Chain A
Amino acid sequence: MSKQRQFGLESREKKLPDFSMLLLSVGQNQDKAAFADIFQHFAPRIKSYMLKLGSIDDVAEELAQQTLLKVWRKAQLFDPEKAAASTWIFRIARNIRIDALRKQKHFFDDDYDLEGIADEQENAENKVSREQKSLNVTLALSALPKDQTRIIRLSFYDGLSHSEIANQLEIPLGTVKSRIRLAFGHLRKSTHLESGEMA
C-alpha cells in the first residue's frame, strides 16, 4: 500500500495542477491562462483565510484579489528550487493579511526569494524539488494525531494566536504550546527521513 493511498491524499493530489509550473509560466511568459488556473484554485482559499480573522466578506474578497495581483507582479521572482508554489503564495497572502487585517508591520522581507536561503545540507545529489518536499510535509501532516493537526491549522490557517487557540479549545496555553512542539518535532523527523536529509 502506497503512503499516498494510506493517507487518502492520492485523489486530492491528482486533481491539483502543478502550481510551480503554472507560476513559472506566469513569470516567464506572462501566461494569463496559467494565472487564471492559479486564481481559480487559490483566490477562494485566500478569501477564506482572510475571513478567519473576522474581516467582512467584501474586504476578504478584495484582499484575495490584491494577493493574486501581487502574485502576478512578482511571479518573475518565483524560483521553484527555493519554494513550493503554495509556500510562496502563502507568504504573500500572510504579509497582506498582517498589513491589512492586523494593521501592523510584518518585518518579512518581501523579496527575499531572490536571495534564497543558504541551504548547505542540500547538495546536488540529494536535491529534492520543493514541490516534492512540500508533498512530504503534506503526508507527514496528515499522519499527525488529530489534536496536533487541529492546532497547526488554527495557528497557520485560521491565524489564531496561541492564547486565542487556548481559549477556543478551552485548554491551557501550555498544552497548546506543547502540542505545537510535538507536532513540529514529528514533522521535522518524518520530512527529514523522507527527503534523505540528516536531522
Chain B
Amino acid sequence: MSIHHHLSDTTLGAFTAGTLIETISLVVASHISICPDCRKRQDQLENIGGIQLQFAEPEGMSSDALQKAMIKLGKQELTPVFSPADTSPLSSSSGTALSFGNPEVPKPLRAYIPDRLEDVEWKPIAPGIKYFAMEGLKTANGTLSLLKIAPGVNIPEHGHQGIELTQVLKGSFRDEIGRFGVGDIADFDSDIKHQPIADTNEACICLIATEAPLKFTGLLPRLVQYFSVM
C-alpha cells in the first residue's frame, strides 16, 4: 500500500496533545496504525509534549506524596517485557503488535467493526450508498459513519464546520482536491466544499468523522446525518 494523503500538522498535533473528540481520534489512530510516516511525525510531536512537561512550572504536591508512592511501589505488578517471539506479525490479536503492512481493517477499528470488511452487515440508506452503525463511541460532538459507496456514486456536495476526516479502507474516491486510495486520509478543514465520488468499478468503503454536523442540503444527507448520530 502506498499512501499519498496524510494527516495535517494541526490534526496530528491536536491528536497527540489529546484534545480531539473521540470519533475524530479514532479515525486519526486508524490512519496512524497503517502509516509509518504519520507515526514518525506523531513521535516528533510527542517529543514536544515531553519537553513542555519537563520544563513546566511545578505545582506543589502534598508533603507526604513521595512517601505514599514509595509505599505503593512494592505492591505494583510490573509490566513484563515480551520476547520478540511473542510479537510476530501473525499475533496481531495479542494486542501489542502494530499492524503496519496491509490489514483491511486497521487495528483501532476492530473493536467497532468486523475484522473483515466482507463480514460487515450494511444497511442501505440511499441509492448506491450503504451504511454501518458503529456502536460504543461518543458521538455527541461530531459524527462517525462507515459508508460503502457504489462505483460512480457521489456523496452530495457539502461544507463543514471544524475537521472532517475520511479514511479509505477499500476502493477509492476522487473529489476537487485529488484522488484518495486505500490507506489515504482526506483531512479537510472548515470552509472546504467538496463532492467525493467513488471513481473505480469497485465500491469505495470509507470511514468519515466530522467534528460538527455536516452542513448538507437535500434528503439523502439528512438521512446520513440521522444514521451517523444514532
Q: Which residues of A contact B (CB under 8 A)?
A: 12, 16, 19, 30, 32, 35-36, 39-49, 51, 60-61, 64-65, 68-69, 72-77, 83-91, 93-95, 97-98, 102, 104-109, 111-112, 114-115, 117-119, 133-134, 137-138, 141, 152-153, 155-157, 159-164, 173, 177, 180-181, 184-185, 187-188, 191
Q: Which of B80-88, B125-133, B174-182, B215-223 contacts A (4 or more CB under 8 A)?
A: B80-88
Tell me if B53 and A157 are in contact (CB < 8 A): yes
Decide if B10 touches A177 in the complex (CB within 8 Å).
yes
Q: Name the contact of A65 in the complex, choosing from B26, B69, B100 (C-beta under 8 A).
A: B69
User: Smallest Cβ distance from B213 to chain A, in angstroms?
Assistant: 16
Residues of B within 8 A of A65 (CB): 65, 68-69
Whole-angstrom distance between the Cβ of A172 and the nearest chain B Cβ: 11
Q: A residues within 8 A CB of B202?
A: none
Q: Which of A83, A86, A97 contacts B51 (CB 8 A)?
A: A86
Instruction: Give every chain A residue within 8 A of B61 (Cβ-Cβ).
Output: 43-44, 47, 61, 64
How far, in angstroms, from A117 to B48 measured CA to CA in the complex?
17
- Whether B189 contacts A86 by the Cβ 8 Å rule is no
- By secondary structure, the A interface counts as helix
Can you name 26 A-B residue pairings with CB atoms under 8 Å? Answer: A32-B70, A35-B73, A36-B66, A45-B59, A61-B65, A73-B78, A85-B50, A87-B50, A89-B53, A97-B18, A102-B18, A105-B25, A107-B26, A112-B98, A115-B98, A118-B40, A119-B40, A134-B47, A134-B50, A134-B51, A153-B52, A155-B13, A156-B17, A157-B49, A161-B14, A184-B45
B19 touches A48 (CB 8 A): no
Q: Closest chain B residue to A118 by CB distance?
A: B36
Q: Cβ of A188 and Cβ of B44 under 8 Å apart?
A: yes
- B-to-A contact residues, CB < 8 Å: 8-10, 13-14, 16-22, 25-26, 28-29, 33, 36, 39-40, 43-62, 65-66, 68-70, 72-73, 76-82, 87, 95-98, 100, 107-108, 137-138, 162, 189-190
Instruction: Let me know if B62 and A157 touch, CB within 8 A.
Output: no
Chain B residue nearest in CB terms to A187: B48
What is the distance, in angstroms, from A43's C-beta to the closest C-beta of chain B? 5
The residue on B at minimum CB distance from A50 is B59
Which partner residue on chain B sits nearest A103 by CB separation?
A: B138
A14 shortest CB reach to chain B, Å: 14
- The answer to whether A155 touches B17, judged by C-beta atoms less than 8 angstroms apart, is yes
Which applies to chain B's interface (DSSP): helix, strand, loop or mixed? helix
CB pair B55–A156 under 8 Å, yes or no, is no
B58-A94 in contact (CB<8A) = no
16 other A-B residue contacts (CB within 8 Å) besides A48-B58, A155-B19: A43-B61, A44-B60, A72-B73, A72-B78, A86-B54, A87-B43, A87-B50, A105-B137, A112-B96, A117-B36, A118-B36, A137-B51, A157-B49, A181-B9, A188-B44, A191-B44
Residues of A within 8 A of B25 (CB): 104-107
Contact B19 A161 (CB under 8 A): yes
Hey, which chain A residues are within 8 Å of B45, CB to CB? 156, 184
Which residues on the A side are within 8 Å of B49 (C-beta)? 87, 90-91, 94, 156-157
Least CB distance from A79 to B in Å reads 10
With CB as the reference atom, state the residue of chain B lying closest to A82: B43
Bound CA–CA A161/B15 (angstroms): 10
Bound CA span A171–B70, Å = 46
CA gap between A187 and B39 in the complex, in Å: 17
Top 4 nearest A-B pairs (CB, nearest first) are A44-B58, A86-B50, A48-B59, A87-B50
A86 B48 Cβ-Cβ under 8 A: no
Interchain CB contact under 8 A, B59 and A47? yes
B53 touches A106 (CB 8 A): no
Q: Across the interface, which residues of B come within 8 angstroms of A94, CB to CB? A: 17-18, 49
Let me know if B56 and A181 touch, CB within 8 A.
no
Q: Which of A77, A157, A162 contacts B52 (CB 8 A)?
A: A157
